[in-house]
Amino acid sequence: MRLHRLIDPLVRLRLRLARRKGPASGVLLVSAGGLGDTVLFAVLLPRFLRLATPGEDVTVLLRSDAAKMAFLFPTGVAVRKVDFGRLRDIGTRLRVFADLHRAHYRLVVHTDYLRHPDLDEALVAACMAPETAAMEPRPSEKHRRRLMANRSLYRRLFDSGPTVQDKVLRWARFADFLTGRTLPPPSVSLPHARVAPARLAHPTVVLQPFSAVKLKQSPPELWELIIGTLPAGWQVLLAGHPGDLDKNPEFRSLLERPNVTFEGAPFERLAGILMGARMAISVDTACMHLAAALGVPTLCLASAAYVGEIVPYAEAVMPANLHVLYTPVDCKGCLGACWFPPEDGMYPCVAALDPDLVLGAVRDMVARGL
């Protein structure tokens, strides 16, 4: 058994005996997903803000890496960052637990369907808030017993439905449950985002061919064809983390074209660049969610792995500016647990993407300005 599992009950006992100043106040929303999840959560965040009483503060707890997207949140929302990678370190764990307990939140809502008993749920336990709520967790063979035991952390639990379900719709239904209001599904858009379009000297297309899951990446040859399809005089920004080219040296050949430049801007600055661009073409990654939610004409080259849960979005929430291409296969919706061997370093459904279909979509978007 890991050390933190042994000491957590003792730490919680110590916290329970500690005195806190004043009455409980404030709402803490726990959102422990990655960058793309944080973009989508920002779409729903205004609905969760209704849980606060007049004048009450709202804080969103994010993974420290995902907090790079917090600029999308409405004005006035506080952000608490936690380095989940260090949360098993005892010193860090004790400090984070104590800070959360000291904050003395009135209401803590765990907004995630996918949960981990040692990480995000341990943070909820440390808060010891008088009011708590969550969805029933995603089934997990590995953590089933402990997740079931942790149901006692929440005074209100919501059955959000089938395991595979559009993430935005699931959040919308959860927000309805908590607020007692039934609202129509939201389009994936961020009208409240404070992002000013960058002024770009030439018509520009942002390409994001990189993914943390390399099996989702289309080959550089397809991106070469896409660049060649764009009108003369258009500039191309190859977006990504500065280390992406080191991890994917085969993509360096794209930078040999005179109209292609690498763009390693952080997400807050990239958002303005996307807003000033003619279009974005991306694999299923955080950049794609960001572009789509900001209203940028966006083409997503997706795997079939997350069909039904993330990409493409459900028809009820799909924005008109987003076009998603993927190969429909019988095993769609595997959530990345592909049981077929890779083809040229790709999921088979990614390798099967028809280049002619992709180039036709690019030409159509250029022609229509979409």
Report the CATH number at residue 291: 3.40.50.2000
Contact 31, 61 (CB under 8 A): yes
What's the mean pLDDT in 142-170?
A: 94
- Domains: count for the chain: 2
Q: Say if residue 171 is in the same domain as residue 252.
A: no
- In the prediction, which pLDDT does 1 show? 47
E-strand stretches of 58-117: 58-63, 78-82, 107-110
Does the pLDDT at position 19 exceed 90? no
Q: Say if residue 159 is in the same domain as residue 97.
A: yes
Domain span including residue 212? 204-368
State the Cα–Cα distance between residues 46 and 357, nearest whole angstrom: 37
Burial class (CB in 10 A: 0-12, 13-18, 19+), 27: buried
Does the pLDDT at position 2 exceed 90? no
Does the pLDDT at position 369 exceed 80? no
Q: Say if residue 290 is in the same domain as residue 160.
A: no
- In the prediction, which pLDDT does 370 show? 56
State the Cα–Cα distance between residues 135 and 114, nearest whole angstrom: 9
**Count of beta carbons in the 10 Å neighbourhood of residue 35:** 20
Q: Say if residue 164 is in the same domain as residue 228.
A: no
Q: Which amino acid is at 203?
A: P
Residue 192 inside a domain? The answer is no
Residue 272 inside a domain? The answer is yes
**Helices 355-368 + 220-229 axis angle, to 10:** 30
State the Cα–Cα distance between residues 124 and 29, nearest whole angstrom: 10
Q: Say if residue 29 is in the same domain as residue 162.
A: yes
State the Cα–Cα distance between residues 21 and 1, nearest whole angstrom: 35
- In the prediction, which pLDDT does 209 show? 97
Residue 184 inside a domain? The answer is no
Residue 193 inside a domain? The answer is no
Last residue of a domain, one of 179, 195, 228: 179
pLDDT by residue (tens digit) across 176-233?
Answer: 999 999 999 999 999 888 899 999 999 999 999 999 889 999 999 999 999 999 999 9
The overall average pLDDT reported for the chain is 94
Q: Which structure tokens are listed for 96?
A: 């984070």
Strand partners of residue 177 = none
Contact 273, 264 (CB under 8 A): no
Q: Say if residue 227 is in the same domain as residue 360.
A: yes
Residue 109 inside a domain? The answer is yes
State the Cα–Cα distance between residues 80 and 76, nearest whole angstrom: 13
Residue 68 inside a domain? The answer is yes
- In the prediction, which pLDDT does 7 show? 78
Last residue of a domain, one of 163, 179, 195: 179
Q: Say if residue 61 is in the same domain as residue 158.
A: yes
Q: Say if residue 161 is in the same domain as residue 70.
A: yes
State the Cα–Cα distance between residues 263 and 206, nearest whole angstrom: 9
Q: Say if residue 71 is in the same domain as residue 149.
A: yes
Candidate from 290-294, 297-301, 336-340 with smallest mean pLDDT: 336-340
Residue 190 inside a domain? The answer is no
Q: Say if residue 136 is in the same domain as residue 8.
A: yes
Q: Say if residue 68 is in the same domain as residue 118.
A: yes
Q: Say if residue 328 is in the same domain as residue 239.
A: yes
pLDDT by residue (tens digit) across 42-76?
Answer: 999 999 999 999 999 999 999 999 999 999 999 99
Residue 141 inside a domain? The answer is yes
3-state secondary structure of 236: strand
The fraction of the chain above a pLDDT of 70, given in percent, is: 99
Cβ neighbours for 112, distance < 8 A, ≥ 6 positions apart: 30, 31, 32, 33, 120, 135
Q: How far is CA 336 from CA 3, 126, 231, 314, in A?
A: 31, 32, 35, 19
